[in-house]
Structure 1
Amino acid sequence: MAGVTESITGLNLSLSETLLVLAATAAVAARWLPPAARGPVALTSAGVAAASAGAVALSGLRWQLVPVLVAAGLALPFALAPVLRRGAPRAPRRAPWWAAGPATLLCGVLIAAGPAASWALPVPVLPEPTGPYGVGTGTVQWTDPVRPEPATAEPGDRRTVVVQLWYPADRAPGPRARYLGRTADEARTVGDALAGYAGLPAFALDGAAAARGHAVPDAPVAARGGRFPVVLFSPGLGGVRTQNTAWAQEIASHGYVVAALDHPYDSAAVVLDDGRTVRTEVAASGDSAEDERRAARWTAVRAADLRFVLTRLGRIDRGEAPGLLAGRLDTRRAAVAGHSLGGAAALLAAAQDDRFAAAVDLDGFPRDTGPGVRTRPVLALTQAVGPDTDPDYLPRLRRALEAGTAPGYRLTVPGAAHLTFTDAPLYLPPLPSLVGSLGRTGGHRITAGATLAFLDAVLAAEPADPARALAAYGELTVHRPRGG
């Protein structure tokens, strides 16, 4: 019902929320109606407001609707008073126009604020995956017994990552996974942390914390399809493993296993199995050279995380470690992807480890963190570079795409912003400077479509040139290896 109402109103309101807005509006307007209409309108708006407010309370009151409730609470007593006092010895008195006018304006502003806030910061509705498979998901925590945790000085503290898997599954009914976490508490913790990282009040992303995706937790792996290629994903700095859930679900529905990482101490919040929450310790120093060194260090740690997870997935496939996907993971066809700093980590991991057969960089600034030659093809999706973009971005990216022994493909997406390549357009205000001008789902279609076109070409048994397919998604530049 909520989805149907949203398509009708365009304001991301459920049916009960829409009725509440209409009832509050009618209560405010009753004062200005002809005498014969005031009573019926006041009584009807009171009844509808009470019923819809009760329904909203039962389904979960969103903060966006609080101003509407306040307006209804202010307007209804004045709208009902003349009706309830009808027949009294003294005729009921109405507020004079000079007092009623400002009060009506105030209530109108409060009512308008509700739909406006719901439109700007909605509960995200993730696009339905279009592939032939259903999608299952599960989350695991893995500790590298070899690497110390670089963010702490505690002896014996080993690097731990939380990994969420999306995989092809048989289509079956079942509860859909929460968007931001395994439990309601984890989703709220992560939502609050993301809001804080962005400088917003904690409640601002309550909609994202309440959302669900399309994957079914622990669903049976698809009976058909054999062994599935693997795509590892690293989020942006301060991001979380679920920040590209729509992309991951779409990729998985087409026959890939996606493994997205939480990187403790630079993800906004990572909830561990023992209940601890590790929050980001990322902070800018104010010195550009020092910040560059920090970014290179975080990139190197993330690249090591990605290589560790690929090793762990290989062990699961061989039956050396427990896992639902034993015998179904084709780690010989593994790609590594990431957004922003995660994209830089993906490029570095691909240069360091030939087990990665391809790399996808979603608007990530490459970091030079040591020797290593990329021998596999890479796709870089970027926003259009303008005068406000870092002038070093394109030269650095061009060098990275030309430094390997395989082609690099840069796809410039018109109308994109940095966050276009994530789920952010689904739940942040649709401001072009923030999330681009492609609408709520346009960026997702391009990002997922281009990624699939690239992976299908380069991970096939007989690799093909992805250039023709990629050109349909933006402005394509092919970078050939130097001297090639």
Structure 2
Amino acid sequence: MEILILVVTLVSELAIAVYSIATKQSRSKIKSWTRIAMFIGFMMLSLGKVVVWEYTWGLFACLLLILAFKEIVALLRKQTNPARYKAISTIWKSLLLTLTVVVTLVPVLLFPQFRLPRVTGPYVVTTATYSYMDKNRIEEFTDQKDKRSVNVEFWYPEQADVTYPLLVFSHGAFGIKASNTSTFTELASHGYFVVSIDHPYHSFYTVSEDGKVVTINPEYMQEVNNANKDGVYSLGEFYELTQKWMKLRTDDMSFVMDTILEQAEQKKDSVYGRIDTQKIGVFGHSMGGAASVALSRERDDINAVVNIDAPFFSELVYDKVTNEINAKSEAFTIPLLNVYSDDVWIQLYSSPPYIANRISNENFKDAYNVHFKGAKHLSLTDLPLFSPILADLLHEGRKANIDKYYAIETQNELILRFFDYALKNQGQFAPKATY
């Protein structure tokens, strides 16, 4: 719809310019009524819900309104001394207006309207946001010696009359806590309390309850970007970086879990009191998936793990003598679901960071491994839904060869079925190897 409106608008303005040049008229009733009709047509599309109104349409709507108002004034005003026609002026005005139309539609093209992924559960889902301050940790990214503060958001059944399992999510390297909102909503609609964490300075941006905005730390961003390039870091340096990232992530996740569990014990009549503290799952995308696997090694109250497209950083050991990275030799006994895109699947047997992820690793012989063929790394988040262009840019122009709704909805279904099986003892879980 966005592209169609852009094309129709540009064609209309081109037709007006050609008509003006052909008739040698800078003003005409045809031009006026065309622009008025364009504004009325857009408003009718909006009122008829053909165009789903979002703030991203604001600039374009204002442009159409200004043009329509200008032409209404021109129709009502009697022109006594018409300006001398200049073809070059008409051409320049047409080019300027064309550029203006494109610019005002950029927000819509970047974030086009889309349908929400299906929600299949019986519960109406509500949300809540909180900011937790960890009095035992100093914020390492600032010089003020502030305490580490973490922002979280809950998705849970609105009418929760019993207790439900707790699921803790960690976003990717540059992600945000809303990165997999469709997944959280689907899980909550089936009776789960999902809490997603913003890791300050690791997340693209995060906003606390008091309105404080924290954006991604440039040094951390550079570290991650360099780690994905050959030759920037030695193997030892790369290993140290991954362990540093895991430490911050798992500390955040563990702190949030402890805070929630403490609140659940103390406030039985609050939202927290609806959480089943004996059934806990963790999951995450990319670096968040790696942190989820790592955290499950550290705590004994985690009952199930979902890793979405991440290397097992916590399962690696670095040998300084041989300058090699190897996998640990400790069995993983917690139910684990690995969901992989093409981007990661092709690295399982070729990239050292993924040595522990290999299907042949006996320590993870009971893990479920699923490959979404044709999917890219961000296909397993909601980003391709609300900004396909941005997703393609972050994939360096490499488009996913999988339907974006099929990818996210199928993943949501698999994660739901896995947690139902592992935490609620409901049904069986036997996923296909490839989707």
- Which residue does the alignment assign to 2:321? none
Which of 409, 417, 422 is equivalent to 1:453?
417
Paired AA for residue 391 in structure 1: S
Which of 292, 297, 315 is equivalent to 2:244?
297
Shift of 1:21: 6.7
User: For 1:271 and 1:258, how far apart are their aligned partners in 2?
Assistant: 19
In structure 2, the gaps of 5 or more residues are 47-52, 227-231, 318-327
Instruction: Say if 2:83 is the partner of 1:138.
Output: no
Please list the CA deviations of residues 226-258 of structure 1 after superposition, one character each: whole Å capped at 9, or x if unmatched: 211111000011222112112211211121111
- Which residue does the alignment assign to 1:382? 340
Instruction: Say if 2:204 is the partner of 1:268.
Output: yes
- Which residue does the alignment assign to 2:385? 426
User: For 1:144 and 1:32, how far apart are their aligned partners in 2?
Assistant: 69
- Which residue does the alignment assign to 2:406? 442
Shift of 1:366: 1.6
Question: What is the aligned-residue RMSD (CA, Å)?
Answer: 4.4
Shift of 1:344: 0.4
- Which residue does the alignment assign to 1:358? 304
Figure out how many residues of one structure are paired with residues of the other and give that number.
Answer: 396
Q: How does 1:152-167 map to 2 (within 5 A)?
A: 157-167=146-156
Greater mean alpha carbon deviation, residues 298-307 or residues 250-259 = 298-307
Q: How does 1:70-469 map to 2 (within 5 A)?
A: 95-96=86-87, 107=97, 111=101, 118-122=108-112, 126-151=116-141, 157-169=146-158, 221-223=159-161, 226-281=162-217, 282-285=220-223, 286=226, 287-289=232-234, 290-318=237-265, 320-321=266-267, 324-368=270-314, 374-385=332-343, 391-398=351-358, 402-404=362-364, 407-430=366-389, 431=392, 433=397, 436-461=400-425, 464=428, 466-467=429-430
**Structure 1 residues 283 and 120: alpha-carbon distance in aligned structure 2, compared to 1, 3 A threshold:** closer
User: For 1:403 and 1:384, how far apart are their aligned partners in 2?
Assistant: 23
Please list the CA deviations of residues 3-43 of structure 1 after superposition, one character each: whole Å capped at 9, or x if unmatched: xxxxxx36497xxx9997786566445437889xx945323
**Structure 1 residues 168 and 326: alpha-carbon distance in aligned structure 2, compared to 1, 3 A threshold:** same
- Which residue does the alignment assign to 1:175? none
Shift of 1:114: 5.5
**Structure 1 residues 143 and 40: alpha-carbon distance in aligned structure 2, compared to 1, 3 A threshold:** same
Paired AA for residue 424 in structure 1: L
Shift of 1:277: 3.0
User: For 2:344 and 2:245, how far apart are their aligned partners in 1?
Assistant: 27
Aligned to 1:443, what secondary structure does the other structure show?
helix
Contact 1:144 1:159 survives alignment (8 Å) = yes
User: For 1:93 and 1:84, how far apart are their aligned partners in 2?
Assistant: 18
Aligned to 1:252, what secondary structure does the other structure show?
helix
**Structure 1 residues 119 and 442: alpha-carbon distance in aligned structure 2, compared to 1, 3 A threshold:** farther
**Structure 1 residues 164 and 116: alpha-carbon distance in aligned structure 2, compared to 1, 3 A threshold:** closer
User: For 1:321 and 1:387, how far apart are their aligned partners in 2?
Assistant: 44
Contact 1:24 1:68 survives alignment (8 Å) = no
User: For 2:73 and 2:20, how far apart are their aligned partners in 1?
Assistant: 10
User: For 1:110 and 1:276, how far apart are their aligned partners in 2?
Assistant: 34
Aligned to 2:388, what secondary structure does the other structure show?
coil
Contact 1:165 1:258 survives alignment (8 Å) = yes
User: For 1:83 and 1:29, how far apart are their aligned partners in 2?
Assistant: 24
Please list the CA deviations of residues 75-106 of structure 1 after superposition, one character each: whole Å capped at 9, or x if unmatched: x88x99899788x688x86555x876686567
Shift of 1:419: 0.9
Paired AA for residue 358 in structure 1: A
Aligned to 2:257, what secondary structure does the other structure show?
helix
**Structure 1 residues 28 and 118: alpha-carbon distance in aligned structure 2, compared to 1, 3 A threshold:** farther
Aligned to 1:311, what secondary structure does the other structure show?
helix
Contact 1:68 1:110 survives alignment (8 Å) = no
**Structure 1 residues 146 and 109: alpha-carbon distance in aligned structure 2, compared to 1, 3 A threshold:** closer
Greater mean alpha carbon deviation, residues 159-168 or residues 323-332 = 323-332
User: For 1:82 and 1:275, how far apart are their aligned partners in 2?
Assistant: 48
Contact 1:131 1:253 survives alignment (8 Å) = yes
Greater mean alpha carbon deviation, residues 298-307 or residues 432-441 = 432-441
Shift of 1:266: 1.6
User: For 2:345 and 2:4, how far apart are their aligned partners in 1?
Assistant: 35
Identity %, equivalent residues:
24
Aligned to 1:267, what secondary structure does the other structure show?
coil
**Structure 1 residues 387 and 264: alpha-carbon distance in aligned structure 2, compared to 1, 3 A threshold:** closer
**Structure 1 residues 360 and 329: alpha-carbon distance in aligned structure 2, compared to 1, 3 A threshold:** same
In structure 1, the gaps of 5 or more residues are 1-8, 170-220, 477-484
TM-score of the two chains, using structure 1 as the length reference: 0.67
TM-score of the two chains, using structure 2 as the length reference: 0.74
Aligned to 1:475, what secondary structure does the other structure show?
coil
